[in-house]
Amino acid sequence: MTVYLVGAGPGDPELLTLRGAALLRGADVVIHDRLIAHELLTWAPPGAEVIDVGKTPGLPRRQHDINELLVAHGKTGRQVVRLKGGDPFVFGRGGEEALALRAAGVEYQVVPGVSAAFAAPAAAGIPVTHRGMSTSVTVVTGHTGDPSAPGGVNWDALGRAGGTLVVLMGMGERATIAAELVGSGRLGTTPVAVVYWGTTDRQRVVRTTLDSLANVDFPAPSTIVIGPVAALDV
């Protein structure tokens, strides 16, 4: 059988793809993240083994351990669904899991999902591109650190690039992110929208500016949209 790396979508269970839903309904094992819509787990067949591998703050789970778990279950001959929030390959570490499965000789398929990077702004009435306002969009992790490290975020370049910036996993570093962007050229008055639990019935939206972003105190999962389009409400 095959391990399926399935994108669970941005939060609303109805945004799971038809392919993902079909695989989930036929799963023998479901290995899921913490922030998926947990209603999806009821779609698995009775008797399916359901395993929570969510990286809970204070109770870290190493990615290496998750990879080993996928390989072990993938070798049992059962249908394994790895249910990942959003899209598996957009800051979901799906690439690492796919490489681990390949190295172990375990067959796998990637089932794309709807990423919160685009769905959360859309649900809040914010088009990430809009004629006359933004013809580009950049999606970036909010984990700040050494920008010269492999895969590091060059905030200076992002500050000068213009267009729409969508930041995932950035609330913990929002003050630093705002300061970096303003310091590299973006105006402090640049519109910002923060979308909490986008696409779900828990969704909340705050519109602010880079100068005031630090005052917004939403927890995860929140999506930060930076640029002129963040002022739109279509």
Q: Which residues are catalytic?
A: 33, 55, 169
Burial code (b: 16+ CB inside 10 Å, e: under 16) for 125-147 equals: ebbbeeeeebeebbbbbbebeee
Q: In whole angstroms, what is the distance from residue 102 CA to residue 97 CA? A: 9
User: Residue 222 and residue 204: Cα distance in Å, rounded?
Assistant: 9
φ and ψ of 15, to 5 deg: -95, 5
Please give the structure tokens belonging to residue 98: 């796919």
How far apart CA 85 and CA 90 sit, in angstroms, is: 9
| Residue 209, strand partner residues | 191
Task: Mark 164-176 as b/e (b = at least 16 C-beta within 10 Å).
Answer: bbbbbbbbebbee
Asked whether the beta carbons of 156 and 184 are under 8 A apart, the reply is: yes
Check: CB of residue 195 under 8 Å from CB of residue 121.
yes
Residues constituting the chain = 234
